[in-house]
Structure 1
Amino acid sequence: MKIEAWLFGITTVFLVLVTPAYWFITDAGASGADWTGTSALVMTTLLASMVTLYLGFHANRMDPRPEDRKEGEIAEGAGELGFFPPFSWWPMWCALCLSTIVLALAMKAWWLLVIGVVLGALALCGWIFEYYRGEHAH
């Protein structure tokens, strides 16, 4: 994970240099200027630095992976990679319930909000407990 930490570190350094340059070039310091781009760059810089710190912290505390070593072989990385869930309909139902909730808030239709929240809770429970029952249970 050292390679990933270095990549995010280089990105963070780049953003640290670009953000003040953008602020000066767009004259965001003037009154009435648009602060959107500068705010987005500052938040991107902070997020990239957070990922850099996380990856750097864990890279020093874990055994090197085969791709992290210069003498590592491709065959060393063979084996099970993890659990990849099959196709699921639950994300679609959660998104539909969320769009119903947003529509209810936009229309100030509180009765529709209650319906969206109740159905959303059911859809979220279905998504969470999808692999505890049925064909894909484990």
Structure 2
Amino acid sequence: MKIQGKMFIWLSFFILAMAVLYGLWSKEPVGTTALFMAFGLAIMVGYYLAFTARRVDAMAQDDKEADVADEAGELGFFSPHSWQPLSLAIGGALAFLAVALDWWLMFFSLPVILIGIWGWVFEYYRGENQNQ
């Protein structure tokens, strides 16, 4: 985490320099304000990472001799297959089409979305993937 904190702090100083240069050169208030806000965001993230790095143990990214696999851990459980995202995608596409064309199409998209959500939530309570 130490290297990320340093990177964000250096990035914030670069953004500050560019904000001052841009503000003096262009005299455009919106872009200058956006750059100063980006400076604030970068300095907050950099300070948080540097502050947190002092409280946690050294991680693999802080060691120059570390391998990529040193921080690898369990990735978690991933569903082998599911048809529910297809149902949600079709329902979502119909819902956005309803916004673009006319609201009556929402009456057809809402049941498709609800069926997709219901199926996805209860996917492991029935069928071959049921937990015993």
Shorter-chain-normalised TM-score: which range? 0.5 to 0.7
Equivalent residue for 1:32? none
Matched ranges for 1:32-71 at <5 A: 35=30, 37-38=31-32, 40-42=34-36, 44-70=38-64
Query: Are residues 56 and 75 of structure 1, via their aligned partners in 2, closer, same or farther at CA, if it must alter by over 3 Å?
Result: closer
Query: Could you tell me how far 1:78 is from its partner in structure 2?
Result: 6.5
Residues 59-105 of structure 1, C-alpha deviation per residue, up to 9 Å, x if partnerless?
222221133135x5438817534227367665555444434333322
Distance 1:40 1:89 in 2: 43
Between Structure 1 and Structure 2, the one with more helix by share is 2
Structure 1 length-normalised TM: 0.58
Q: Which moved more, 1:18-27 or 1:7-16?
A: 18-27
- Confirm whether residue 83 of structure 1 aligns to residue 82 of structure 2: no
- 3-state SS of 1:60 partner: helix
Q: How many residues align?
A: 129
Output the amino acid matched with 1:62. V
Equivalent residue for 1:27? 27
Structure 2 length-normalised TM: 0.60
Q: Who wins on radius of gyration, i.e. which is larger?
A: 2
Runs of 5+ in structure 1 lacking a partner?
A: 30-34
Equivalent residue for 1:111? 104
Q: CA RMSD in A?
A: 3.9
Distance 1:45 1:105 in 2: 37
Output the amino acid matched with 1:113. M
Output the amino acid matched with 1:48. A
> What is the aligned-residue identity percentage?
33
Query: Could you tell me how far 1:9 is from its partner in structure 2?
Result: 2.0
Q: Which moved more, 1:50-59 or 1:90-99?
A: 90-99
Equivalent residue for 1:15? 15
Query: Are residues 2 and 120 of structure 1, via their aligned partners in 2, closer, same or farther at CA, if it must alter by over 3 Å?
Result: farther
- Confirm whether residue 102 of structure 1 aligns to residue 85 of structure 2: no
Output the amino acid matched with 1:25. W
Distance 1:48 1:22 in 2: 18
Distance 1:46 1:118 in 2: 45
Distance 2:94 2:33 in 1: 30
